[in-house]
Amino acid sequence: MAQITSTAVVPTDRAARFGKQLASHLGRRNGGEWLDDEQRGSVDFVEATAALAASPDALTLTVDAGPEVIERFEQVVGRHLVRFGRDAGFVVTWTRSDGTPGSEQRFDDPDDRPEAGQTTKEEQR
């Protein structure tokens, strides 16, 4: 099946800081990078890729994955950003290229609070 692209634009004046943190944290296992001079980065998962782009007023997140796993990777990327920016009150709302509804993450979701020291299976992929 064809890949689906899902995009979320999260307003923040600290987009580069959060983009760099996401790329560093999520890229630990499978690879990722943040290019300070270009204000963009990427994360490679086994079943998906994520692109991160900072502008002065927003962080744009893009996930490319198959239809069977797109929601899982929206959740992985979105939940991490929400946790990193919990004081900012981020809401991550995804829009998919195939017209199906994307997911949404906000800090009040129970999944945003893993046990201390626990990593998710998605982080390990």
Q: Provide the token pair at 77.
A: 């990327």
Over residues 18-62, the pLDDT tens digits come to 999 999 999 998 899 999 999 999 999 999 999 999 999 999 999
**Assigned CATH for 4-111:** 3.30.310.50
pTM of the model: 0.85
Determine the pLDDT at residue 108.
77
**Percent of residues in the chain assigned helix, strand, coil, to nearest 5:** 35, 35, 30
Q: How far apart are the first and last CA of the chain?
A: 20
Only one residue has tokens 């760099």, namely 20
116: pLDDT strictly greater than 50: no
